[in-house]
Amino acid sequence: MNNKPKYIDLFAGAGGLSEGFIRAGFEPVAHVEQDEAACYTLKTRTAFHYLRSINRIDIYYAYLKNEISRSELYREVPSELLDTVINLPIGSEFNPTIHRRIARFLGENQVDLVIGGPPCQAYSVVGRSRSKSSMDGDPRNYLYILYSKYLEKYQPKMFVFENVLGLKSAKGGLYLNNMERLFLKKGYKMKLFTVEANNFSVLQNRRRVIILGWKIDLTPDLPDLASIRSPSNFKVESVFKDLPKIAAGQGVDKFVSYRTKTNVYLDQKFIRNGIDILTQHVARPHSEQDKKIYRIAVGKWNNEGQRLDYNDLPEVLKTHENRHSFFDRFKVVAQDLSYSQTVVAHIAKDGHYYIHPDIEQNRSISVREAARLQSFPDDYYFEGVKERGSRTAAFKQIGNAVPPLMAQSIASEILKII
């Protein structure tokens, strides 16, 4: 290992948070994640960073072009690097195994930082509203306890804990208060910031909680993450302009060419990354009824600047019994706004809340379009369990991720302290 600050990524997901820290100059010791598909994504991204570091990025590009298989790609990467992705759930049963593997990777180095965001469904306002018990008793409410055990074991200088805004109000703030007391008991103070992704040039309305923690014997000059402003002055159309037009159910996983040259946003924010290899521009199929509704929603926005109210649909198109809530269950990703609605994991189930603004294409957004709204670069490939990519798995990973652009800005501030 080199002299870069070292970090452990817990509940790593597809690696959006980690990608930002790597860009800022940190080095991962381990990514711990229980979802198998996300772990393959992390391994593929590990392959990308390694091959780029030895000037053999052409091998990675061959993978994106479907010229070599995933297993062939992985054979080009040292096994000890791929093994830093640990596909196990955090908890008493598997922690000894996780710790042994981390010790092997870490050697005599120290952990400078622990990062991660436990699954947020238990704290989510929407999740609580849909649960009969308001998520009371859900074990995911207490994943911060498992997080704290890693602080206790590895004694990092600092930690970064990401979660949904609902963490502040869940159980009347009880979980947050308990979290602060527990972290203090483990030797760490903390400060909470509410951040908005669009302030970090992400073309998406995504409000999140970022908790910065530090050892009590340190006196870090903490940045005010909530006051960071890096406005992009771009519209959502920037993520759509250069992509081939496809209809519902169409698209190619690997690979297809871009429709036009790049644009300023894609260049400045390292989305196109200088490559001419487009992957995962794949759209889900839709029923004829859904496509009729999409046409109405897109026409209403593009012609009148108004959102579709479900109750305004013709009776023949109304199939949901619940007519008293979720009136905006069909929503266009408006290309003329500065940011889109929040991309969440539910996009893996249906695309009704993410309708493409081009009425000619008449579909929900593709995997690549969702990834771009999250600020993932086009060379970031989202894996499924099998070697062939899974649209559903990719959508889920993207919806659960931290936008890399936001993560990079936060990481750059942490690096100044570390």
Side-chain half-sphere CA neighbours of 148 within 13 A: 17
120 is catalytic: yes
What is the distance between the alpha carbons of residues 310 and 325, in angstroms, rounded to a whole number? 9
| Nearest residue to 192 (alpha-carbon basis) of 204, 208, 181 | 208
**Per this entry, what is the length of the chain?**
418
Q: Which residues pair with 214 in a beta bridge?
A: 158, 189
Per DSSP, the residues of 32-95 read E-S-HHHHHHHHHHHHHHHHHHTT-HHHHHHHHTTSS-HHHHHTTS-HHHHTTEE-S--STTTH
Question: Which of 212, 178, 182, 179 lies closest to 194, judged by CA?
Answer: 212
Q: Beta strands 158-164 and 207-215: pairing type?
A: antiparallel
Radius of gyration from C-alpha coordinates of the chain: 21
**Taking a C-beta distance cutoff of 8 angstroms, is the pair 161, 117 a contact?**
yes
Selecting among 120, 143, 203, 344, the annotated active-site residue is 120
Provide the annotated active-site residues: 120
